[in-house]
Structure 1
Amino acid sequence: MSPRCERCDGTLVPVVYGMPVDDEPYRRHERREIYFTGSCMGGPEPWWCWSCERFADPEPRPPRTLTMAGYQLSLLDEMRRTVPEAVLEPPAPYDDPPAHLREEAGRWNALESQKIEDLAAILGEPVSGGPSRHRFALPLWPGFWLEHTTMDTEVGGYVLDRRFVRRSGEPLRSTDELRPWSVLLPEAQAFFGWEETRMPNAYWHAIPFQLDGRRMEAWFVHDLLQHVSETAEGGTA
């Protein structure tokens, strides 16, 4: 069933590369019988209502039955997929999640073009981390905020990326503190003098470095350390 516009109940069409995709209205637009009056927004891109000639959101938005527990598990699943060797075991029930929680985490992972207002309805109102930056406190990571960067549009703020930032505690002060879930990538860069990675906006990084003459590799997901290991060949940033 096609999504409907919340303003006029008209059928919505997806937006691709800034242009509504729908065969007949698009051809009418090309013939200049009707006009697309929006502007190219870049990704993520919402929907378009030809009746209103405005960007629009499909209704309903993601269900409010989703929970913070499911969101946390979806993050853990992402970390495990990226760094299968990670040794840190989360507390119950995340160490052996029940079926309903696994199902919910899958629903979180399947959501596309999340809006910050959808997250706030479930995770609680965020605190501001600056322009278009919204920080949520999650119980599994009490020493950190999970900060979401958004792109603001006329139909709300869409989440572009997310990263952990320190909420409490001290940055890395010695190599003994290089433990999973304890160190942020910018802190390790400052401590070891690592150069900026080639893709700073990537959601994961594998950083090779040397420690006491040994070749090591540190893995970060959303800028939070997940795993440190010794390697014979080193890694890639």
Structure 2
Amino acid sequence: MASEKRPAAPFTPLDFQLVLLRRMADHNPGPVEDARRELGASAARMREANSRWQAMLRSPRARSASARYRSVLGEPEAVLPRRIGDLECEALRWPLPLWPGLRFEVLLAADGTVWNAWLVRAPGAEGPVLRTVADLTPWSCTVDEAARAFAPARPLQGSAPTRWGLAFTAPGADGAPRAVTAEFTWGLLQRIAVAGDGPEPRPAAPS
């Protein structure tokens, strides 16, 4: 008799952090490898976690997005009312051990639709000091922080659902304004392109 298929292990908060890292590895493999080791997870587990998450998203029996996040991360640390223009929504926030100064935030519409899911600064946590291009290092800031520091910033279409972009002007090393394009994954800065430095976005040197 063929052996019965063993049930899959629960998808844990650790696995979810590996999902976030897997997408970030496209731009910053070094920091991702360091973070993966800090979590005590193998590269194979990171790939498996990402595959399982994608399967959960595509499953015809997929639960609602809100229920999916709650099943993986537990009850949110905070549920906050949020108004975006004329629309009202809820912001659900969870802590993640890998980024203690951040929270994973999901914005839910009244009908339960997820408008956004990304990392934001935790309440009371000290944010980065962003004054020049040199301060824009990988993982140093969130979308909102960069947009506020270098206002006015223009949002750009991301290359994937978990990616965002901003275009703005920031002082260079000589103090002269430079045109900057910043790319974010899950709301966290990954790399920048500075006008005159070449056509491709470049990861800034880690601080």
- Residue of structure 1 equivalent to 2:74: 124
> Which has the higher Rg, Structure 1 or Structure 2?
1
In structure 1, stretches of 5+ residues that fail to align are 1-62
- Residue of structure 2 equivalent to 1:88: 31
Paired residues of 2:147 and 2:166 also in contact (CA < 8 A): no
The alignment's C-alpha RMSD in Å is 3.3
- Residue of structure 1 equivalent to 2:93: 135
Aligned-partner Cα distance in 1 for 2:39–2:190: 16
Distance 1:191 1:206, change over 3 A: closer
Paired residues of 2:16 and 2:72 also in contact (CA < 8 A): no
- Residue of structure 1 equivalent to 2:42: 97
Question: Normalized per residue, which structure has more helix?
Answer: 2
- Equivalent positions of 1:146-157 (< 5 A) are 146-153=104-111, 157=112
Structure 1 residue 183: Cα displacement: 0.9
- Residue of structure 2 equivalent to 1:228: 192
Paired residues of 1:209 and 1:234 also in contact (CA < 8 A): no
Residue 71 of structure 1 pairs with residue 21 of structure 2: no
Distance 1:223 1:104, change over 3 A: closer
User: Secondary structure of the residue that 1:197 maps to in structure 2?
Assistant: strand
Paired residues of 2:137 and 2:189 also in contact (CA < 8 A): yes
- Amino acid corresponding to residue 107 of structure 2 in structure 1: T
Aligned-partner Cα distance in 2 for 1:226–1:65: 30
Paired residues of 1:67 and 1:122 also in contact (CA < 8 A): yes
- Amino acid corresponding to residue 88 of structure 1 in structure 2: P
Please give the TM-score of this superposition, normalised by the length of structure 1.
Answer: 0.57
How many residues matched? Answer: 168
- Residue of structure 1 equivalent to 2:121: 166
Structure 1 residue 65: Cα displacement: 0.8
Residue 204 of structure 1 pairs with residue 176 of structure 2: no
1:143-190 Cα distance to aligned partner (Å, 9 max, x none): 11111122454xxx3434202221011243433542222212222222
User: Secondary structure of the residue that 1:132 maps to in structure 2?
Assistant: strand
Distance 1:122 1:97, change over 3 A: same
Structure 1 residue 71: Cα displacement: 0.7
In structure 2, stretches of 5+ residues that fail to align are 1-7, 82-88, 202-207
Please give the TM-score of this superposition, normalised by the length of structure 2.
Answer: 0.64
Paired residues of 2:108 and 2:116 also in contact (CA < 8 A): yes
Of the candidates 179, 190, 193, which is equivalent to residue 137 of structure 2?
179
Aligned-partner Cα distance in 2 for 1:99–1:202: 22
- Amino acid corresponding to residue 92 of structure 2 in structure 1: H
Distance 1:71 1:226, change over 3 A: same
Q: Identity over aligned residues, as a percent? A: 26
User: Secondary structure of the residue that 1:121 maps to in structure 2?
Assistant: helix
Distance 1:234 1:100, change over 3 A: closer
User: Secondary structure of the residue that 1:76 maps to in structure 2?
Assistant: helix
Paired residues of 1:179 and 1:225 also in contact (CA < 8 A): yes
